[in-house]
Amino acid sequence: RFGVRPQVELEDLSSVEVPMLDPEVTEEDVEEEIDRLRTEEADLLPLEDEPAGDTDYVNIDLQRIDPQTDTPIIGDKDEDLTFFLDDERLKEDLRVALMGRKAGETFRVTLPQEQPTHEHEGHGHQHDHGGEEEDRLYEVTVNDVKRRDLPPLDEEFVRRVSEGEFHDLEAFREDIRKRLQEAWDGRAREMVQGEVIDKMLELHPVPVPESVIEGYLDSFVKQVEEENDGELPADFDEEHFRRRNRRDAEKQGRWMLIRDQIIEEEDLEVSDEELQAFFADQAEGDDEVSSQQIKQFYRSMPDMMEKVEQQILSDKVYDLLLDRLDV
């Protein structure tokens, strides 16, 4: 696909150090998670004539205003937008403006053109689209303000949030501790994987073929299309986009060359047992789908099956490197 690959001379890793996190869940962490669950289960009680506090729920209308004529712009209005003011994704300018407001109030605020209410969201790799952000003037109408009423921490709450799995509060706390530890261990592994990649890139400054870089840039552009209903935005500047993301494409390409060299030298392969373990993991907790059905699904989608196998190989590479590096 990418033409002739350059040979990578792998360095001795026995004396190379990589920091490893060893997170440990505390009682405070468990209590914070329980508070989060209680918050999710809370009822919302309307506030008749009370100002919005820093954890309250608000319902607003957002009307854009033309600053030149000081009049509403027809067709540029969002109604019944709802937020909790402690939502970390909420734009700080809007959060501050809503604090202390009461239902029925109207006021004006200046907000960014892109994502005026929330910070950019998304998973996976984020690319720089370029361009300058412009502020816009809005008129905000507060329709409703409500406050959370947290449920008591009792056996009924435990049964409800655990869907009947637990009835005892202490057993529930222990399960939360276990789940948090598993999640934190997973994050620690992801972080050390990033450190490992950075260290390997530093040790192996192999030149990346132009075809490899362009291949990754093509995939970045494709991702933008997929995020926008299968087509690029009308104002998308592909040349600028490729230029701004070239360094990232080169980095990913270099890691791919190093990774593939390790796979080749170590004769790493994906076994049927490893694939079966993946399918079983995907089916775990789902009573309606078996691992065999998931296997058949992936077998019918060659591209997805290829991604699964490549991910398993990548995990094997990480495990091998962690074993050889001084972590």
Q: Which pLDDT tens digits describe the chain residue by residue (327 residues)?
A: 555 677 788 888 877 888 777 889 999 999 999 999 999 999 999 998 899 999 999 999 999 999 999 999 999 999 999 999 999 999 899 999 999 999 999 999 998 876 667 664 433 445 555 545 578 999 999 999 999 999 999 999 999 999 999 999 999 999 999 999 999 998 888 888 888 899 999 999 999 999 999 999 999 999 999 999 888 988 899 999 999 999 999 999 999 999 999 999 999 999 999 999 999 998 887 778 888 999 999 999 999 999 999 999 999 999 999 888 766
**Cβ atoms of 138 and 64 closer than 8 Å:** yes
CATH of domain 43-149: 3.10.50.40
Alpha carbon 269 to its chain centroid, in Å, reads 29
Helix (H, G, I), strand (E, B), or coil: what is residue 67? coil
Instruction: Please state, in angstroms and rounded to a whole number, the distance separating the CA atoms of residues 224 and 110.
Output: 28
Phi, psi (rounded to 5 degrees) for 59: -120, 125
Owner of token pair 């993301």: 245
Q: DSSP state, 150?
A: P
pLDDT given for residue 2 in this prediction: 53
Phi, psi (rounded to 5 degrees) for 111: -130, 160
Return the sign of the alpha-carbon dihedral for residues 228, 229, 230, 231. negative
Instruction: Please state, in angstroms and rounded to a whole number, the distance separating the CA atoms of residues 171 and 50.
Output: 39
pLDDT given for residue 109 in this prediction: 93
pLDDT given for residue 13 in this prediction: 81
Helix axis angle for 169-203 and 27-40, nearest 10°, is 110
Instruction: Please state, in angstroms and rounded to a whole number, the distance separating the CA atoms of residues 32 and 267.
Output: 46
Question: Domain spans of the chain?
Answer: 43-149, 271-327
Instruction: Please state, in angstroms and rounded to a whole number, the distance separating the CA atoms of residues 210 and 152.
Output: 61
Owner of token pair 């009461």: 102
Return the sign of the alpha-carbon dihedral for residues 116, 118, 120, 123. negative
Q: What is the pTM of this model?
A: 0.64
Contacting residues for 214 by C-beta, under 8 A, at least 6 apart: 249
Rg (the chain; Cα; Å): 26
Instruction: Please state, in angstroms and rounded to a whole number, the distance separating the CA atoms of residues 72 and 163.
Output: 48
pLDDT given for residue 62 in this prediction: 95
Instruction: Please state, in angstroms and rounded to a whole number, the distance separating the CA atoms of residues 254 and 260.
Output: 10
Buried b or exposed e, range 232-249, using 16+ CB within 10 angstroms? eeeebeeeebbeebeebb
Instruction: Please state, in angstroms and rounded to a whole number, the distance separating the CA atoms of residues 58 and 94.
Output: 11
- C-alpha to C-alpha distances, 270 to 63, 112, 197, nearest whole angstrom: 56, 48, 21
